């Protein structure tokens, strides 16, 4: 039997200029490419006709993972893809959650290819919002109790982290972002800089520069990231700056 291989490939934020050579190489080597349908459409120009595509609907992450594992274990060269960095709310975790149930001897070889996470692409558009300690919090309460998410929001606000909110809002999760906004406003000033970055680096990119108090949650969708500054963050024309420390420095 051929030696199977499974690459977990990070596709980056969208523009091919931010896809790493390692990711491109993994895609090129794969016989079978598995992923959410919209991602496969996005990388279609990078694939050759003879490479097999296996698109999946949204959700179905564990089925996607199991499919990829089985194909690689059967000797195929497989790429499982996620946008951004595959380790950040992408397919890497569900893949390992599936792998955990496999007998050790049957587990295929796996390589994780890192990439430019959506949060880094959004931050680059804004300048330096992540210039000091920061955190990522997903507002999806599908697999995580809201109480856990709420505890993290409160902790991040109290400890003055820069906060990146993933999955801020979808058609079915409509109240979480407004609740998060209210919780954060209990501990952060209303004028705290906040940016909503939608589809960073893609042709339909949109950036909204506002404040924690003035955020309009209903204008945010599932393609957006919400970035919230710390107590030192400030706007500089279109740039958002979080200084790298709390002590004054002079050049």
Q: Is 115 among the residues that bind a copy of itself (CB under 8 A)?
A: yes
Residues 53-82 that bind a copy of itself (CB under 8 A): 61-63, 65-66
d(C-alpha 211, C-alpha 194), whole Å: 5
Q: Which residues contact 161 (CB under 8 A, 6 or more apart)?
A: 133, 134, 135, 230
Q: What is the DSSP letter of 107?
A: P
Q: How far apart are the first and last CA of the chain?
A: 63
Among 73-81, 143-151, 188-196, 218-226, the segment contacting a copy of itself (CB under 8 A)? 143-151
Compute how many residues bind a copy of itself; rule: CB under 8 A: 85
Among 139-147, 174-182, 183-191, 206-214, the segment contacting a copy of itself (CB under 8 A)? 139-147
d(C-alpha 55, C-alpha 61), whole Å: 11
Locate 31 and state its tokens: 């016989």
Site string for a copy of itself, 226-245 (x = CB under 8 A): ----------xx-x-xxxxx
Q: Smallest distance, Å, CB 150 to a copy of itself?
A: 10
Give the other-Cβ count within 10 Å of 26's Cβ. 25
Q: Is 100 among the residues that bind a copy of itself (CB under 8 A)?
A: yes
d(C-alpha 99, C-alpha 84), whole Å: 22
Locate 104 and state its tokens: 């050790």
Q: Which of 33, 40, 81, 116 binds a copy of itself (CB under 8 A)?
A: 116
Residues 147-206 that bind a copy of itself (CB under 8 A): 148-149, 151-152, 154-156, 158-161
Q: Smallest distance, Å, CB 79 to a copy of itself?
A: 14
Tell me the longest C-alpha to C-alpha distance in the chain: 64
Q: What is the DSSP letter of 84?
A: B
Q: Is 251 among the residues that bind a copy of itself (CB under 8 A)?
A: yes
Q: Smallest distance, Å, CB 40 to a copy of itself?
A: 21
Residues 7-46 that bind a copy of itself (CB under 8 A): 10, 12-13, 15-22, 25
Phi, psi of 103 (to 5 degrees): -60, 140
Q: Which of 33, 34, 72, 130 binds a copy of itself (CB under 8 A)?
A: 130
Q: Is 113 among the residues that bind a copy of itself (CB under 8 A)?
A: yes
């Amino acid at each position: 039997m051929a030696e199977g291989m499974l690459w977990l490939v990070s596709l980056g934020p969208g523009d091919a200029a931010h896809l790493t050579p390692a990711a491109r190489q993994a895609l090129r080597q794969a016989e079978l490419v598995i992923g959410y349908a919209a991602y496969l459409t996005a990388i279609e120009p990078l694939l050759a006709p003879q490479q097999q595509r296996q698109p999946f609907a949204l959700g179905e992450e564990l089925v996607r993972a199991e499919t990829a594992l089985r194909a690689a274990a059967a000797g195929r060269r497989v790429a499982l893809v996620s946008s951004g960095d595959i380790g950040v709310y992408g397919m890497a975790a569900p893949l390992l959650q599936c792998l955990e149930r496999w007998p050790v001897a049957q587990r295929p070889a796996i390589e994780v290819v890192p990439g430019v996470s959506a949060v880094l692409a959004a931050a680059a558009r804004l300048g330096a919002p992540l210039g000091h300690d920061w955190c990522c919090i997903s507002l999806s309460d599908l697999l995580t109790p809201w109480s856990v998410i709420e505890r993290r929001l409160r902790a991040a606000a109290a400890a003055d982290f820069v906060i990146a909110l993933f999955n801020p809002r979808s058609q079915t999760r409509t109240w979480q972002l407004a609740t998060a906004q209210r919780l954060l406003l209990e501990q952060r000033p209303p004028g705290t800089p906040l940016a909503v970055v939608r589809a960073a680096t893609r042709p339909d990119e949109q950036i909204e520069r506002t404040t924690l108090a003035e955020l309009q949650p209903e204008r945010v969708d599932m393609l957006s990231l919400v970035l919230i500054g710390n107590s030192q963050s400030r706007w500089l024309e279109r740039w958002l700056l979080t200084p790298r420390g709390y002590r004054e420095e002079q050049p």
